[in-house]
């Protein structure tokens, strides 16, 4: 009868491990997505600032 009492604990431990693995995978995918998103924001910001610099340079007209 002792083995019956130990079975639910083993099952609970395995389940906890599976849930931990799912959280690790979810966080990994989210971090990769955030890094990619930040790279896209950086590229868009640099592009807009470059266009702004070109527009300001075009306004610098000699009288």
pLDDT of residue 22: 92
pLDDT digits (tens, 9 = 90+) for 4-62: 555 555 566 667 677 888 999 999 999 999 999 999 999 999 999 999 999 999 997 77
- Does the pTM exceed 0.75? no
Is position 1 within any domain?
no
Is position 31 within any domain?
yes
pLDDT of residue 5: 57
pLDDT of residue 53: 93
Count of domains forming the chain: 1
Parent domain of 42 = 17-62
pLDDT of residue 62: 72
- Name residue, tokens 């002792």: 2
With 0-12 CB in 10 A as exposed, 13-18 as middle and 19+ as buried, what is 6?
Answer: exposed
Is position 11 within any domain?
no
């Amino acid at each position: 009868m002792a083995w019956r009492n130990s079975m639910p604990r083993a099952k609970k431990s395995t389940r906890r491990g599976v849930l931990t693995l799912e959280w690790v995978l979810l966080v990994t995918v989210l971090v990769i997505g955030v890094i990619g998103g930040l790279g896209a924001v950086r590229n868009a910001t640099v592009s807009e600032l470059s266009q702004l610099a070109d527009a300001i340079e075009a306004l610098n007209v000699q009288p």
